[in-house]
Amino acid sequence: MAVTNPRDVQVMPIAAETTIVRSRSWTRLKFEIEYGLQRGTTANTFLIRADKVALLDPPGETFTAFFLDALQQRLDPATVDYIILSRVNPNRCATLKALLKVAPQAELMVSNPGAIVLKETLPDLTNPVRTIRNDEELDLGKGHRLTLIPTSNPRWPTSLCTYDAATQILFSDKLLGAHICGDQVFDEGFESIESDRKYYYDCLMAPNARQVEATLDKLAEYPAQIYATGHGPLVKYGLRSLLQSYRTWGQAQKEQELGVALLYASAYGNTTTLAQAIARGITKSGVRVDALNCETATPDEIQAAVETADGFIIGSPTLGGHAPTQVQTALGLVLASATKLKLAGVFGSYGWSGEAVDLIEGKLKDAGFQLGFETIRVKFKPDAATLQHCEEAGTDFAQALKKAKKVRQSRQKVSLESQVDPTSQAVGRLVGSLCVVTAQQDNVSSAMIASWVSQATFNPPGLTVSVAKDRAVEPLLHRNSPFVVNILGEGNHLSLMKHFLKPFSPGEDRFVGVATEAAQNGGLILKDALAYLECRVENRMECGDHWLVYAVIEAGNVLDASHLTALHHRKSGNHY
């Protein structure tokens, strides 16, 4: 559908005395890894109007004016008795501040960590604040007895879920959400958005899989028929399936052989954004991440995470020329308890100077730790290119851990079995065209050598390409993403093959020294290729350690008719 305004508000009743106010962004809301699919998002607010009136979760300041206008058209804010905040952050507090000017009588309900953030963000607040330390009931009348459930975790320490027994709705905020904007309020046809929910889980929940599972266990006590999420469609029709998927995905994270402790603090959210992108690069490579916010994690939790991990990464903002006290404490625990064989990493954001990052890097190097990627320093808010750099750095870190593990394994057992395995030898005889897949979005470009490319359909013309999960180009190959398959020619392929097979550092331009031209779909055509196909991702399926991407071919051409297609012959089917 054509979108005339990238921001609007949709209001609809969803249950007895219960209304949803969906602040919608039809374009990518933020440059954060979780919004990488660029399908927009919704910030869901809820109104329960019984004998008492409760408002749950005003949106962030992007929507302040839209939201207040829509709200005041439907009720007098002065009638709101309670405002329940599932999360407290400066972005949401900006709207809250404007809301309280027209609802000065409202009592605020927040978790204990949320009360601390609320006081720091709005020091002049005069409204009464009720701090929820344990599960607590709030009776709105007409059967709406709300249970307020603190669900703190390292990513969202202020988290608070709410259950309404009258409607059997559980207001779950970030949990089970997805960044999708549309007219559909509930999840009819939920199978079609499964990949979006998996991407959301991988970006936000996977680094905290253990804590997410504990939250699911706690919420299982409440017989919910609907999970009213903070973002995207409400979960009703696919509730049982999605809850099981969360369990399955979480178990897969816990079963990974290798793990990384990701320790960070964040003053304005920028360092958290970097941590999220790095964690995404690690988890997609099949390595577990245990993310801990140093501001809320205990020293025992930090020490245990570092001791059981195969590597660790520390992120910090710079405040007054120093790292926050909590990060300094975490660094001291690392230096005291981590063995020097563990791989290390450092990152951080800053406003005017970056002394904290330099301090951490210097201390680790002086102690003899090896860094798994070049230290990441970001001034102010990260952009799309920075997030891609961070994700690739996380992937490099994970690959370095895997390589170290292989070296540690007995060399006498290496491949003796696989060298004579007849099945692997037979699979290796599958022959594919040698290609270079190129993709470009938001000034971020990447490429990879591919030989698992095959025509899939006649009408429309389509193909499949298999992409390893840890490839740098993988984030650019989600649904509706454009890319180009450059088919290489026999006898004219070695220079391009060598170029794209060499290791690149995170964020490095893959196309320096390569002759290219812009494709109609915004991708890159290699001028020395035999032929090219301009494609758009239609769907993708998770298959073991790869994604199988199906794309529709929109255009193409033969650049050199004098050569045959280059083919890739392998001796074994268990490696490239």
Q: Please choose, from the candidates 483, 402, 383, the residue with its C-alpha nearest in 3D space to the C-alpha of residue 435.
A: 483
Determine the pLDDT at residue 154: 77
148 pLDDT higher than 60: yes
User: Does 214 have pLDDT greater than 80?
Assistant: yes
CB 373 within 8 A of CB 391: no
| Cα–Cα distance, 482 to 24 (Å, whole number) | 25
From CA 171, how far away is CA 151, in angstroms rounded?
Answer: 12
**pLDDT score, position 354:** 86
pLDDT band at 424 (very low <50, low <70, confident <90, very high): low
Task: Give me the domains of the chain, ranges plus CATH numbers.
Answer: 7-252 (3.60.15.10), 256-407 (3.40.50.360), 424-568 (2.30.110.10)
Tell me 80's DSSP state: -
- Spatial CB neighbours of 370, under 8 Å, sequence gap ≥ 6: 343, 344
Is residue 129 within a helix (H) or strand (E), and if so which, with residue range?
Answer: strand 129-132
The answer, yes or no, to whether residue 415 has pLDDT greater than 70, is: no
Beta-carbon count within 10 A of 462 CB: 17
Give the chain's radius of gyration (CA, Å): 25
Nearest Cα to 118, choosing from 131, 102, 134? Answer: 131
What's the whole-number mean pLDDT along residues 67-94? 95
How much is the mean pLDDT over the chain?
92
Residue 416's pLDDT is 47
Phi, psi of 534 (to 5 degrees): -90, 125
> Of the ranges 99-103, 237-241, 400-404, which one carries the lowest mean pLDDT score?
400-404
Residues 6+ apart with CB under 8 A from 17: 48, 49, 50, 142, 144, 166
The rounded percent of the chain whose pLDDT value lies above 70 is 95
* pLDDT reported for residue 557: 93
Among 389-393, 405-409, 551-555, name the one with the lowest average pLDDT.
405-409
Does position 418 have pLDDT exceeding 60, yes or no?
Answer: no
Q: Compute the residue count for the chain.
A: 576
Contact 88, 114 (CB under 8 A): yes
Which of 4-13, 193-202, 333-342 has the lowest average pLDDT? Answer: 4-13
Whether 460 contacts 552, CB under 8 Å: yes
For residue 429, pLDDT over 70 is answered with: no
